[in-house]
Chain A
Amino acid sequence: MKKSTGDNFFPKAMSFSAGLDLLKRAGYDGVELWLGDRPWFRMQTTDAELRVLARQVRDAGLEVSDVANALDWQENISARDPAKRDAAVRHIERQIEAAQIFGTDAILIVAGLVTEETPYNEVYKRTLEALHKLAEVAAKARVKIGVENCNSEQRFLLSPREFATFLDEVKSPWVGIHLDVGNIHDTGFAEQWIEIHGPRITRIHMKDVMKHRGRCGEQSVYTNIFLGDNNWPAIREAIRKVNYDGWLIAEMESRYQYAADQQVYDTAAALTRFISGTF
């Protein structure tokens, strides 16, 4: 397995090349590039500029593990507003193009957002319809679309079996699951999600979660690997069971308030320890 983390994890104000150097020094093998997050990778970034980024990644001794986006929360393929829906399709297609330029075979998307205004059944149908079309684009590009499980935030596809049924209905080997083991708070166990989805897992996001905290036990809070309630030995065994040998991509939500680069090192060390399977 290989270690990666997002360019959105670079300490604030750090340049792209300085961030890559930090990742390399910390022991990562790759970087996840986020469309729409940092200034170097936006919708208006040209192909030529993307090729420069790709060269910088190579020169730093790293690979691009996958292409994520920070735009789905504002422009989702399940939106009622056709303009937002079109924008979502456009940025996902751009991710696919960027993945080809970066020489990686996977992208991450958040597909489907259920809200008070946009009900579940609508979101399901619209998301499915959009993914049928995007799957064709992905197939042509030979880039896999990893649909992330953002269970609590999306309020969509909450159980692993429903997620599997959804993927069955998409019915394309080019659409799988980008599994985030920290996002499964109260709706199950990450290791069981891994078992059920097995070969359909495109990439794995790594973070921990402290469940049921706060005065009323109503909060679940993302945290550093090994600090929360995930059963890491079980997750490691499940990964072994399904024979997953792909990228492990750290996604830290809460950040060190000081010495931000230290968190990059600490997270790399945690990933190394996880891969070694010694707990």
Chain B
Amino acid sequence: MPTRREFLTGLALAPFVVHLTAAQSAADARSVEIWQEHHCLSLESARGFRHLVSRYPSATSSASGRTASGSLIIAPGIRWMSLSTAADLAERINGGASVILESGLGFSSRTESKHQIDLLKKVFGLQLLPPVKVGKNPAAATYLEYTRPVPRLVRTFEAITPVGCDQSEALARLGKYSVCIRKRIGDGALVFLGSMLGPGIVAEEREAIEVASALVTSDSESIFNSKKTDFPIYAQPDLDRWHCV
């Protein structure tokens, strides 16, 4: 018998499914599902990712079906994931899906955080540390430094959830912390975002959109093949980019 919270979460997780065509390959359409939770952080982030996915011209809505492999699942602003949902996700990744799991733990209580940290370790092998507030240290902690899949600086969202990883798994860092990583699980891939990216998409933050676009258009292989690139220092602005605000 599910708890009330699990029931409500299950309702909120009603899948948003579209077919996304990666920019690089028009023929290689795949489905995108957004497994949101029913709280404002997740809903806000989901809105960002949904908007991003719909920007691709060939994206089409579909009400049905979670494809077993080759699909992308985005779990935005996650704070309350249940064991059964986590197990479902793990099964999908094992079967070849790519999952972007975005932590929404920054504003959670210590107990909630501990529960999620334990759960994500048990199911996905993620070594999360308790969330760290960064908002009070302006310059040093304003931006997360992505080195993959594209080198960009992206605003943090007041708190980060650091994650232990091998160097080869890291996508983004904040000072001494790895904050975003990728991880092979079975035939699929898990991308863990320890700082919320979705609200940056909603806010039209240029670099957040560029990173998120690169993430959603990477399949489970290419996210591993992308080379680490240190942040490029100072190329001249490109006139073609002027209107991307």
Binding site for B on A (CB under 8 A): 1, 164, 167-168, 171, 173, 176, 191, 195-201, 231, 233-234, 236-238, 240-246, 279
Contacts and interface: CB of A to CB of B under 8 A. Distances in A.
B167 interface: no
Given A201-B237, A243-B232, A244-B234, A164 B245 contact: yes
Given A241-B153, A243-B235, A199 B242 contact: yes
B234 A245 contact: yes
B136 interface: no
B236 A245 contact: yes
A13 to B, nearest CB: 38
B138 interface: yes
Nearest to A164: B245
Interface in B155-211: 155, 205-207
A233 B139 contact: yes
A243 B234 contact: yes
A164 B204 CA distance: 12
A204 to B, nearest CB: 12
B139 A1 contact: no
A248 to B, nearest CB: 12
A207 B142 CA distance: 22
B140 interface: yes
Given A191-B142, A243-B237, A279-B139, 6 more contacts: A167-B245, A195-B206, A198-B245, A240-B153, A241-B143, A246-B236
B4 interface: no
A206 to B, nearest CB: 16
A233 B140 contact: yes
B139 A237 contact: yes
A183 B204 CA distance: 24
Contacts of B234: 1, 243-245
A234 B142 contact: yes
B245 A231 contact: no
A244 B237 CA distance: 7
A195 B154 CA distance: 10
A203 to B, nearest CB: 11
10 contacts: A168-B243, A173-B240, A176-B242, A233-B140, A234-B139, A234-B142, A237-B153, A240-B233, A242-B207, A245-B236
Given A198-B245, A200-B242, A234 B138 contact: yes
A237 B138 CA distance: 10
Contact of B243 (A173, A238, A240): A173
Nearest to A233: B139
Contacts of B238: 199
Contacts of B139: 231, 233-234, 236-237, 279
A173 B238 CA distance: 10
B210 to A, nearest CB: 11
A104 B139 CA distance: 32
Contacts of A196: 245
Contacts of B205: 195
Contact of A199 (B142, B143, B241): B241
Interface string B209-245: 0000000000000000000000111111111111111
A173 B153 contact: no
Scoring B143, B232, B234, B237 by chain A CB atoms within 10 A of each residue's CB, the highest score goes to: B237
A244 to B, nearest CB: 7
A196 B200 CA distance: 12
Nearest to B236: A245
A1 B138 CA distance: 23
Which 3 interchain pairs have the tightest Cβ spacing?
Answer: A245-B234, A233-B139, A241-B153
B245 A173 contact: no
A171 to B, nearest CB: 8
A175 B32 CA distance: 38
Nearest to A240: B153
B136 to A, nearest CB: 13
A199 B238 CA distance: 7
Contacts of A244: 234, 237
B206 A173 contact: no
A186 to B, nearest CB: 18
Residue of B140, B232, B233, B242 ringed by the most chain A CB atoms within 10 A = B242
Contacts of A195: 155, 205-206
